[in-house]
Amino acid sequence: MARLRKFVGYRDWERPYTRTSKFNKKNYIRGGFPNIKIVKYEMGNVHGNFDTTVTLHSDRNLNIRHNALEAARMTSNKYLESALGRKGYHLKIRTYPFHVMRENPLASGAGADRMSTGMKKSFGKIIGAAARVKDGQIIMEVKVPKAHVKVAKQALKRASAKFPCTGKVRTNPTKPVAAQ
- List, in order of start, the domains of the chain with CATH numbers: 36-103+124-173 (3.90.1170.10)
- The string of pLDDT tens digits covering residues 88-134 is 999 999 999 988 888 777 767 676 666 667 677 667 788 888 999 99
Residues 144, 44: Cα–Cα separation, whole Å: 10
CB 93 within 8 A of CB 139: yes
Full strand arrangement of the beta sheet holding 168-173:
42-44, 90-93, 138-144, 52-57, 168-173
3-state secondary structure of 138: strand
> What mean pLDDT, rounded, does the chain reach?
85
Question: Alpha-carbon Rg of the chain, whole angstroms?
Answer: 20
- Give the closest residue to 142 by CA, choosing from 72, 75, 91, 68: 91
CB 122 within 8 A of CB 104: yes
Handedness of CA 22, 24, 30, 36 (dihedral sign): positive
Cβ neighbors of 141 (< 8 A, separation 6 or more) are 53, 54, 55, 56, 91, 92, 94
Residues 56, 137: Cα–Cα separation, whole Å: 8
The pLDDT assigned to 159 comes to: 96
Q: Which helix H or strand E contains 160, and what residues bound it?
A: helix 149-160
The answer on pLDDT for 1 being more than 50 is: no
Q: What is the pTM of this model?
A: 0.82
Full strand arrangement of the beta sheet holding 125-133:
62-65, 125-133, 99-103
* pLDDT range class, residue 139, cuts 50, 70, 90: very high
